[in-house]
Structure 1
Amino acid sequence: MLRIHFSDGDLARTRVAAAPDPVWEIAASLHRLQSRKGRWAYAEWYRTARQQLREKGLEQVLRNVLLPLYPRAAYFPDFLTPADAVGDLDAGMDSIVATPPRRILVEMAVLDRTVGAPAWAGQLTGLEARKEFVRMLRAYHDAVVAPYEEQAQARIEAERAARCRGLLDGGVEGMLSGLGPMLRWRPPVLEVSYPRQTADRDLYLRGRGLTLVPSYFNWGEPVAFADPQLPPVLWYSLLHEPGSPGTPCRADSADGPLTTLLGRARAVALRAAATGATTAEMARAAGVSAPSASRHATALRDAGLITTVRHGPAVLHTLTPAGASLLRAGTGRPG
């Protein structure tokens, strides 16, 4: 177990990332290829990833370079997921290239003691070798991660809406209390399940705060840097199942073109999702029963217009990028 210790100042400096961390998503997707856990949640991705890797000629890169450096184990090198990469692939790649050789040697030694490092790992102390490695990472990202960026962003926006509801209802502690089954808030400590970790450890934030990064490809236990001196970041899994809270929308806010296209109740439900809405709130906004609102939400979700996440006993529906585009086109103003 990882225990993250907060002060009042840390609570004030805790935030949820607004976008996926593309370099971490590379790592998490590589872990997906090494495990059968959660395959149902990534069925489409599994079907296409291997094909893309084969068509792009990346199978040997995957087998001989990437998987040995990103083992699904208790440790892989921290420098491969730099803290300044959240939302910025270029910044992450630049950070990897700029990693000091001494740090690479230290972290590769830890990898070697943990699960074994590849024999060629020391070559990454050379600048040209790191540049070539980054080119491989980019090629892998473009083949199997980039095609899912829109889905990942939609899920993260839904997660942020859920965390926002927790924040409004219970402050930062309310936000921390609903992070999923692998994280438990016991003030002033956030307990993080680390099934693969052999020993408990403590992380004292000491006024630095914590950046929470929802991850599309992470499955199961959250992950933090092994080095406590690095900026405190916690990557955690998005729940790939329905559910969580939101705010209502008035029934008279449905617009003509959308009503013609979707029907009145479904148009209202879509607009309600623009700010996040529970099924009950959709029902109140549209003036329909809860079962009827649930059917409308299912239809909108199946059409790729909304996404749904679970937060405790409630569910929160939010727009996908496609839903937001449709709303803008149908209303002439942002959704």
Structure 2
Amino acid sequence: MSVLIDVTGVPRERIVFCPSPLAELGAALHALSEPAHHARLHGWLTTTSAGLRPELADRLHEADFLWRSTRSDILLPAEPRETLAEELDDLDRMDEERYVTAALEISCAQSYDEGVLSPLSDPATRQRTLELATARGPRQAAFVRRMLADPPAVRRWIRRLLEDCEDAFFGETWRRVRVQLAADARHKTELLRRKGLADAVAAASGAMALEEDGPRSRIVVDKLSHGRTSAAGTGLTFLPTAFGWPHLYALHAPGWQPVVQYPVPTAELAGSTPVEVVGRRLEAVAHPLRMRLCRNLARAPYTTSELADANGITAPEVSRHLAVLRKAGLLTTQRRGRYVLHQLDVTVVSRLGSDFLEGLLR
């Protein structure tokens, strides 16, 4: 499963790597609402949560469907600005139906790829939106009813909320992380200029790749969902984030310019492992006999014949199971004279749990 972004014929100058204060605030608010997703941000999350005024914390809880389980498209600007105020000004210029439909996408967009009618103008969509909001609790239901009844007032309320977040904690945070994000964006832009889109995309995330088939080319974003969009006529924006890992967001709604928000690499984070690879590795170690072989291979290097003797099976049978483990990337091999020694790559195995979780949350 993946999100496909068609980039056939898109000029290089229309592919942009740039930090966005609004997108970074959205990522930070998600981390605050789902701290279990972001164990590496424990210090920042603890300090920031403890410093929030109760009134601001309540308002954030009221609107958290905008960033909690996914990210509303209004928080991923296709044209990043220098300041949060400028990006909020751009949001203010968005027409009402587009804004409300995007803001309520979690409640009303069952068919994200095909788009939905506006809940402001379509009675069936409006009713479905209210039903789904009610299922999420009385606070969200009340918020959605307010938005549908008086969109301008709620839009002003959301803007004030984001501005208050900037005053309370995000302004200082943004001044700290923007240097890192800008440096990452410059690096990816230089890669794009010197080596091409494939290298720039691969450097942004191991969960993305450029595929080319004759004259056509597309970016494949490894996700636990299907999606398809095109950057032709609009362009493509990549937004680095310091708060995003393990998430990789790809805005691909009809009528919107594609936007990808990717986590910037840090010294402690390895490259993303594709969901397909994680599945292959889990299947490889799930077999009872391969599990027994792994217990041997985790302790020391073994030859095929040694493993056969230790487990009471034939050498060809061992070879078949080793081939499965090797294909999954779980083994290292080394030759000593006429002997080939196999050993479990414990570093890769130790990441299986975190790779699995990252794939689910991506």
How does the TM-score come out when normalised to structure 1?
0.61
Displacement, 1:94? 2.2
Aligned equivalents of 1:170, 1:84: Cα separation in 2: 24
2:171 is aligned to 146
1:58 is aligned to 56
2:332 is aligned to none
User: Do 1:183 and 1:190's aligned partners in 2 also have CA atoms closer than 8 Å?
Assistant: yes
1:14 is aligned to 15
Aligned equivalents of 2:144, 2:17: Cα separation in 1: 34
Q: Secondary structure at the match of 1:220?
A: coil
Aligned counterparts, 1:302-313, within 5 A:
none
Aligned counterparts, 1:30-179, within 5 A:
30-33=29-32, 34-40=34-40, 42-54=41-53, 57-64=55-62, 66-73=63-70, 76-107=71-102, 110-113=105-108, 116-117=132-133, 118-119=140-141, 120-124=143-147, 125-164=150-189, 166-167=191-192, 169-179=194-204
1:234 is aligned to 260
Cα-to-partner distance string for 1:29-69 (whole Å, 9 max, x where unaligned): 121121423322x2331122102213x741111222x3133
1:191 is aligned to 220
Amino acid at match of 2:205: G
Cα distance change, pair 21–122 in 1 and its aligned pair in 2 (3 A): farther
Q: Secondary structure at the match of 1:177?
A: helix
Displacement, 1:208? 2.6
Displacement, 1:145? 1.9
Q: Secondary structure at the match of 1:121?
A: helix
- Structure 1, unmatched stretches of 5+, are 244-335
Q: What percent identity do the matched residue pairs reach? A: 20
Amino acid at match of 1:24: A
Displacement, 1:182? 2.0
Aligned equivalents of 1:96, 1:160: Cα separation in 2: 23
Aligned equivalents of 2:155, 2:192: Cα separation in 1: 41
Cα distance change, pair 103–13 in 1 and its aligned pair in 2 (3 A): closer
1:201 to 227, 249, 274: 227
Amino acid at match of 2:144: A
Amino acid at match of 1:221: H
1:215 aligns with 2:241: yes
**CA RMSD between the two structures:** 2.8
1:4 aligns with 2:5: yes
Displacement, 1:238? 0.9
Q: Secondary structure at the match of 1:58?
A: helix
User: Do 1:30 and 1:70's aligned partners in 2 also have CA atoms closer than 8 Å?
Assistant: yes
User: Do 1:185 and 1:191's aligned partners in 2 also have CA atoms closer than 8 Å?
Assistant: yes
Cα distance change, pair 8–108 in 1 and its aligned pair in 2 (3 A): closer
Cα distance change, pair 242–70 in 1 and its aligned pair in 2 (3 A): closer
Aligned equivalents of 1:180, 1:107: Cα separation in 2: 26
How does the TM-score come out when normalised to structure 2?
0.57
How many corresponding residue pairs?
Answer: 234
1:29 is aligned to 28
Cα distance change, pair 221–185 in 1 and its aligned pair in 2 (3 A): farther
- Structure 2, unmatched stretches of 5+, are 111-128, 134-139, 270-362
